[in-house]
Amino acid sequence: MPAYASLADRIRLLMLDGRIVSGTRLPAERDLAQHLGVSRTTVTAAYSDVREAGYLESVRGSGSIARLPGRGPLMVDQAETALFDFTKAAMPAISGIADAASRAIDDLPHYLGQHGYDLIGIPPLREAIAEQYRRRGLATSADQIMVTIGAQHAIALLARTLIGRGDSTVIEVPTYPHAFEAMRGAGARVLPVSVTVEDGWDEPALEQAIRRSSPAMGYLMPDFHNPTGRTMPPEQRERVARLAAQHGTQLLIDETMAELVIDDIEPVAPFASFGDAVTVGSVGKTVWGGIRIGWIRAEAPLIQRLFRNRHAGDLGTPIIEQLVVLHLLADYERILETRRRQLRTGRDHLVGLLRARFPQWSVPDVAGGLTTWVNLGAPVSSQLTLAARAEGLLITAGPRFGIDGAFERHLRIPFGYTPEEMDAAVDALDRAWRSLAHGAPAPAEELSVVV
Mean pLDDT for the stretch of residues 326-342: 97
Query: For the chain, what is the mean pLDDT?
Result: 91
Neighbouring residues of 168: CB distance < 8 A, sequence distance ≥ 6 = 188, 189, 190, 191, 209, 213, 214, 215, 216
Instruction: Determine the pLDDT at residue 445.
Output: 35
CB 432 within 8 A of CB 387: yes
- pTM here? 0.84
Show the 3-state SS of 233-279: CHHHHHHHHHHHHHCCCEEEEECCCCCCECCCCCCCCCHHHCCCCEE
Instruction: Provide the residue type at 57 as one letter.
Output: E
Per residue in 67-80, pLDDT (tens digit) is: 877 533 333 344 43
For the cut 80, the answer to whether the pLDDT of residue 373 exceeds it is yes
**Domains of the chain, with CATH numbers?**
3-66 (1.10.10.10), 76-91+334-450 (3.90.1150.10), 97-331 (3.40.640.10)
Confidence of residue 54 (pLDDT cuts 50, 70, 90): confident
Please tell me what DSSP assigns to residue 420. Answer: H
Stated as kind and residue range, the H or E segment containing 282 is strand 278-282
CB 178 within 8 A of CB 254: no
Instruction: Determine the pLDDT at residue 67.
Output: 82
Helix (H, G, I), strand (E, B) or coil at 168: strand
Per residue in 169-195, pLDDT (tens digit) is: 999 999 999 999 999 999 999 999 999
Q: What is the Cβ-side half-sphere exposure of residue 280, based on CA atoms within 13 angstroms?
A: 25
Range in 59-68, 158-167, 248-257 with the lowest mean pLDDT: 59-68
d(CA 229, CA 258): 11
Neighbouring residues of 342: CB distance < 8 A, sequence distance ≥ 6 = 91, 416
Dihedral sign computed on CA atoms, order 358, 362, 367, 373: negative
Instruction: Provide the residue type at 49 as one letter.
Output: D
For the cut 60, the answer to whether the pLDDT of residue 333 exceeds it is yes
Per residue in 275-285, pLDDT (tens digit) is: 999 999 999 99
Instruction: Determine the pLDDT at residue 82.
Output: 55
d(CA 152, CA 282): 9
From 371, 340, 189, select the one nearest 263 (Cα to Cα): 340
